[in-house]
Amino acid sequence: MKSFDAIVIGGGQAGPFLAARMVEKGMKVALIERKFLGGTCVNAGCMPTKTLVASARAAYVARNSAVYGVNIPGEIAIDMKVVRARAETVTMNARNGLIGWFAGMDGMTVIYGHARFEDPRTVSVNGETLTAPRIFLNVGARPVIPDLPGINDIDYLTSTSIIHLDTLPRHLAVIGGSYIGLEFAQMYRRFGAEVSVIEHGPKLASREDEDISDAIADVLRSEGIDIHTGVSDIAFARSSDGITVATDSARIDASHVLIATGRKPNTDDLGLDAAGVITDKHGYITVDDTLATNVEGIWALGDCNGHGAFTHTSYNDFEIAAANLLDGADRKVSSRILAYALYIDPPLGRVGMTEKQARASGRKIMISTRPMSRVGRANERGETKGFMKVIADAETKKILGAAILGIEGDEVIHGIIDAMNAGTTYPALQWSVPIHPTVSELIPTVLGDLKPV
């Protein structure tokens, strides 16, 4: 049996950085990764997908260049092998960077293999037994494959496998109208594929307010994406030239099917029962406000704990654990204000409550909206789709939430994120003097239009 001061299971966006901090403190740490360092973000999420999004946007801008007085003769062609290779290069550079970083650390032992608990202080991997007084789980999540008629008879894609495509689908059917599915839908439409989105719920991006969901649908439809919502029945069958997707309202002749119906935590094969670690009904590891599980000496970080399925929330889990365990702080998950983005084009930046949540809270609220068509930068760039929306508490004057669907919305939202984290009231932010001409300069204007509802 090999003894360590700490064992980290999973090489995503929380565990490796926590392991590095512990090594800096002179601890002996084992980092166990089943497959690739970097987790979903580096290998199958943010980095490769946003690289693909950039290629898709380049194609879109080239096709529409005449609007800007730039004439490109001939048809805009897509070389999917180059597109794929570019995304793979970005991934490999990041992954190899982590490998090199850890290789230079005294006190760090990186082990590739499948770890399982033997008891609360012991794990086995590759036939070896390791023990430590502190064990951190950062095992991530994977795509959910629903039990739909005929699904096992077809070769479907997931968000992990689709990034390796080096040919262009004739017609991509996307099952699931949430964030992952919508990004791939627009991406492949811009590459030149026919695209259909099939969503069980009544609207796309179900977490968002209805006006935001409707605006997202408008953006996608304007690019020729076929959208089906409120679909109750879906079945698949092989056809002579691809896959038939039959719903209660349509029949789609697809060449490829992407299953984008959510993700589930990688907790079902860790031997958590042997350690006594509790999970909820969805398999997420139950943690307290400091990310500790019900078993002393075991913590869960990142996607597997159900407190955020994003790279930045996973990294913040590392920050919370490191601050509390190594720096004597008292940081809590409940202090985190959730923010995220949807990387369609234009992107959606989101922070805090939706209007629906704010109304349900019983607060007296104020709301302001402004179309992007009234934003100078958007007009100058010829990208006027979408709108800004801010919700505030009428009594405390604190901003409760915001949504910016529009050009640079994923960056502009950070002015509001920072204000909310600092506890700044909207009147104070209203009197800031932002730079012209930017999208951010309209934030004070939107705040000035807040009205009670």
Domain boundaries, given as residue ranges, for the chain: 2-141+264-335, 151-261, 339-452
Task: For the chain, give the percent of residues with pLDDT over 70.
Answer: 100
Region 38-48: what's the mean pLDDT? 95
From 114, 171, 228, 436, active-site residue: 436
- Judge contact between 129 and 2, C-beta under 8 A: yes
Residue 249 clears pLDDT 90, i.e. is over it: no
Which CATH fold topology does 2-141+264-335 show? FAD/NAD(P)-binding domain (3.50.50)
Residue 410 sits at the vertex; the CA angle it makes with 404 and 416, to the nearest 5 degrees, is 65
Region 366-377: what's the mean pLDDT? 97
Region 371-382: what's the mean pLDDT? 96
Q: What is the pLDDT of residues 256-272, one digit of tens each?
A: 999 999 999 999 999 99
Name the pairing type of β-strands 128-131 and 122-125: antiparallel
Q: How far, in Å, CA of 276 to CA of 289, rounded?
A: 19
Q: Which two tokens stand for residue 338?
A: 């959730």
Instruction: Please spell the DSSP secondary structure of 398-418, one letter per residue.
Output: BEEEEEEESTTHHHHHHHHHH
Region 158-185: what's the mean pLDDT? 97
Task: For the chain, give the percent of residues with pLDDT over 90.
Answer: 99
Residue 21 clears pLDDT 90, i.e. is over it: yes
Confidence of residue 171 (pLDDT cuts 50, 70, 90): very high
Residue 243 clears pLDDT 90, i.e. is over it: yes
Residue 94 sits at the vertex; the CA angle it makes with 141 and 338, to the nearest 5 degrees, is 45
* The predicted structure's pLDDT at residue 283: 97
- Judge contact between 70 and 42, C-beta under 8 A: no
Does 181 show up as a binding residue in the annotation?
yes
Residue 184 clears pLDDT 90, i.e. is over it: yes
Residue 74, SS3 per DSSP = coil
- Judge contact between 233 and 248, C-beta under 8 A: yes
Q: How far, in Å, CA of 35 to CA of 33, rounded?
A: 6
- The DSSP output letter for 323 is H
Q: What is the pLDDT of residues 419-433, one digit of tens each?
A: 999 999 999 999 999
Closest to 452 measured CA to CA, from 389, 391, 367 = 367
Kindly give the residue spans of alpha helices, DSSP state H, lying in 44-79: 46-63
pLDDT averaged over the chain? 97
Does 179 show up as a binding residue in the annotation?
yes
Residue 151, SS3 per DSSP = helix
Beta bridge partners of 351: 339, 402
Closest to 403 measured CA to CA, from 360, 448, 359, 340 = 340
Which of the listed CATH numbers 3.50.50.60, 3.40.50.1000, 3.30.70.20, 3.40.50.10860 matches domain 151-261?
3.50.50.60
* The predicted structure's pLDDT at residue 356: 97
* The predicted structure's pLDDT at residue 355: 98
Beta bridge partners of 390: 368, 402
Does 383 show up as a binding residue in the annotation?
no
The CATH classification number of 339-452 equals 3.30.390.30
Catalytic site includes residue 436: yes
Region 134-154: what's the mean pLDDT? 97
Kindly give the residue spans of alpha helices, DSSP state H, lying in 237-290: 272-275
Domains 2-141+264-335 and 151-261 agree in fold: yes
Q: What is the pLDDT of residues 379-414, one digit of tens each?
A: 999 999 999 999 999 999 999 999 999 999 999 999
- Judge contact between 53 and 187, C-beta under 8 A: yes
Q: What is the pLDDT of residues 55-106, one digit of tens each?
A: 999 999 999 999 999 999 999 999 999 999 999 999 999 999 999 999 999 9
Confidence of residue 113 (pLDDT cuts 50, 70, 90): very high
Does 176 show up as a binding residue in the annotation?
yes
